[in-house]
Structure 1
Amino acid sequence: MERQKHFLPQDFPALKNDSFLRAAQGQKTHYVPVWCMRQAGRYLPEFQETRAGQDFFLTCRTPEICCELTLQPLRRFPLDAAIIFSDILVIPQWTLMTYMIEGSGSSTMSKAKRWLYQHVDASHRLLRLLTDVIVDYMVGQVKAGAQALQVFESHAGCLGPAQFAEFSLPYLREISRKVKEQLKNESLEPVPMIVFAKDGHYALEDLSRSDYDVVGLDWTISPLTAREQTGNRVALQGNMDPCALYAPKERIGEIVKKMIEEFGTQGYIANLGHGLYPDIDPEHVGAFVEAVHKHSRNLKEQTWTGHLENSL
């Protein structure tokens, strides 16, 4: 895997913890880094207090509030990444293509899929427009200090292999290619890029060849199968079922230990297979984070001891 330099703006203080960036770039780490999708979310009482009575889009456009929401989970847990509080919703209000057509959430996305079948050319025109805007938006985030980027394809499971290959994969590839090209053209250091296609396990091999540094996984595929399909081309991220955090803390530790044993301690970023749910106990989130650090350190130490004994 190509090794990339860490992006570090001149006015940023020195990093105290670069484990997430190192893992994303395929470099060695002392333990498995961990973060959670939606980690600054409604499960935190302080989040609810800060967001109470605040308009969502006003919040996204107010740096002081975004900063506070970003830092809240880091005050509670020893997470390895701070996730800037924002949303792709700020590009068009009601997120991207599916909600632009559906008008609201949907379990089938049938209206959006109808467009793909009935209005092929128009669908591609819209997707090209969105791709260009997303590229500009992501480059703007890097200019503002983002040190890594994640691209979500939240509805890969609604498509299936054929439609994903026609209407999603080419644009995901174009986003990664154009972001990296634009950063280079503007003399900015590259940053690690993650692609997360929920329920897109059928496309893992293609995603691992799409010029992203990390492929995120949901909980519908085993770590061993994911490693087989992606080879050593990319680092992997995921993939614990968010509902596992409803389990007792001891059980959470057991699940985490098994997950890390199957993924291995290198080229891996621990995460959930999707975002945190609003009714999850924050203490169980803490148990998850602590278990990742504990078991990955133990496993790495055992592996090193085994290598040492063999060499002797």
Structure 2
Amino acid sequence: MWIMRQAGRYLPEYHQAKGNHDFFECCRSPEIASTLTLQPIERYDGLLDAAIIFSDILVVPQALGMEVRMVDGVGPQFPHPLRSPSDEQYSQIMEKEVDVLKELGYVMDAITLTRKKLDGRVPLYGFSGAPWTLLCYMVEGGGSKMFIQSKTWVFRYRKEAKALLRKISEVVVEYLAQQVVAGAQILQVFDSWAGELGPREFRDLALPELRWISAHLPKRIRELGEEVVPLVVFAKGAWYALEDLCESGYDVVGLDWLHDPAEAVKIARGRVVLQGNADPGVYMGARGRSRK
């Protein structure tokens, strides 16, 4: 059974540790991030198989120079999203040489500190958002229901969208590799908005970047003197792409509740480990339900 959840706002100890700090302040504090990472492990001692570092996928756009705020009750907000390639910000992002350790060193510090605190109890996950998902946030300015701006980039600015996706991929590879140096023992790439693309667009835009990451990340990890760790890809909603994902260079493919597990096993044919598939909403009908 696969339960993927960071230290939750449902835990009272989360709010105590967070205090008056905003979300990204918690991410930037290695001590707070480490404390929040460990809370589920300590509360459910012996029941969880891994910890995932407390951070956010949107630290990558921040490293690229974009402003991101976490608004209570609303979620992440970009005050100045990318609306078109003619935006000056687009050129600035494409030209920026990102020093990952300078921009995101606090994540590495949190990982190292957390590994010491875990003391081998469970392995520690590092992670990043996938390029397509990060592009969606960067151009929409936050979460979206219609993904109008994202689709505008797909169908009107496809060449520029591909260039931006590759720029993001380059940062993601370095970011994940440095997480391994810091102590991450397994890495996951979250393509949370993969399902907003149709099969053709997914194969033309999102999948090439996932493959680029899986091809270049092990090389970079070895260059940094570390052993390659297992890689996990989770393309939420892209049920049509399971065959492609099994051939995308990752060790593990995450499934969402749109997959039929038996059919997924047939498609995978043992090429990758499969995990997931539980509908997170199922617990809504479990409490107080009579059992016969």
CA contact 1:35–1:80 (8 Å) conserved in 2: no
Question: In the TM superposition, what whole-angstrom CA distance separates every residue of 1:65-88 from its partner, at most 9, and x where no partner exists?
Answer: 011101100112210001110112
Identify the residue that residue 232 of structure 1 maps to in structure 2.
270
User: What count of residue pairs does the alignment treat as equivalent?
Assistant: 220
Which residue pairs with 2:261 in the alignment? 223
Please give the alpha-carbon distance, in whole angstroms, between the structure 2 residues aligned to 1:226 and 1:211.
17
Contact map agreement 1:138 1:149 (CA 8 A) in 2: yes
Deviation string, structure 1 residues 117-136 (Cα, Å, up to 9, x no partner) = 10111101100100000001
What is residue 80 of structure 1 aligned with on the other side? 49
For 2:270, the aligned partner's letter is: N
User: What amino acid sits opposite 1:191 in the alignment?
Assistant: V
In structure 2, distance between residues paired with 1:64 and 1:49: 14
The answer to whether the aligner puts 1:49 opposite 2:16 as a matched pair is yes
TM-score where L is the length of structure 2? 0.71
Cα distance in 2 between the residues matched to 1:157 and 1:59:
30
Aligned position for 2:184: 146
Residues 236 and 255, structure 2, Cα contact 8 Å, conserved in 1: yes
- 2:174 counterpart (127, 132, 136): 136
Matched, 1:168 2:206: yes
Task: Tell me, in whole angstroms, the C-alpha distance in 2 between the residues paired with 1:39 and 1:186.
Answer: 28
RMSD of the TM alignment (CA)? 1.9
The question of 1:39 aligning with 2:6 is answered yes
SS in 1 for 2:240: helix
Output the CA distance in 2 between the equivalents of 1:135 and 1:250.
46
**CA distance, structure 1, for counterparts of residue 2 and residue 40 of structure 2:** 10
* TM-aligned CA deviation for residue 46 of structure 1: 1.5
CA–CA distance in structure 2, aligned partners of residues 200 and 51 of structure 1: 34
TM-score by length of 1: 0.67
| Letter paired with 1:42 | R
The superposition leaves residues 212-261 of structure 1 with CA deviations (integer Å, 9 ceiling, x where unpaired) of: 0000011011110111111100001101111112233697x9xxxxxxxx
Q: Distance in 2 between matches of 1:188 and 1:39?
A: 26
**Residue 35 of structure 1, CA deviation:** 5.1
Equivalent position SS for 2:189: strand
User: How far apart, in 2, do the equivalents of 1:246 and 1:80 lie?
Assistant: 24
Which residue among 149, 153, 164 is the counterpart of 1:111? 149
SS of the aligned residue for 2:61 comes to coil
Residues 2 and 276 in structure 2, CA contact (< 8 A), matched pair in contact too: no
Match of 1:204 among 242, 245, 253: 242
Supply the distance in 2 between the matched residues of 1:74 and 1:247 (Cα, whole angstroms): 26
Q: Go from structure 1 to structure 2 and tell me whether the alpha carbon gap of 1:137 and 1:228 turns closer, same or farther (over 3 Å shift).
A: same
1:118-170 CA-to-partner distances (Å, cap 9, x unmatched) read: 01111011001000000010001111100000001111111010110011000
User: What residue is the counterpart of 1:90 in the other structure?
Assistant: 59
Which sections of structure 2, spanning at least 5 residues, go unmatched? 63-67, 69-128
Output the CA distance in 1 between the equivalents of 2:288 and 2:26: 37
Q: 1:230 to 1:199 in 2, by over 3 A?
A: same
The residue aligned with 1:298 is none
Q: Does the Cα contact within 8 Å between 1:69 and 1:85 map onto a contact in 2? A: yes
Q: Given the alignment, which residue of 26, 29, 36 partners 1:59?
A: 26
Match of 2:217 among 179, 188, 196: 179
Please tell me whether residue 155 in structure 1 is matched to residue 155 in structure 2. no
1:53 aligned counterpart, secondary structure: coil
Query: 1:52 & 1:204 partners in 2: Cα distance?
Result: 42
Distance in 2 (CA, whole Å) between partners of 1:87 and 1:159 is 23
How much does 1:92 deviate?
A: 1.4
For 2:139 and 2:235, locate their aligned partners in 1 and report how far apart those are by CA, in whole Å: 20
Deviation at 1:116, TM superposition (A): 1.0
Q: Do 1:35 and 1:79's aligned partners in 2 also have CA atoms closer than 8 Å?
A: no
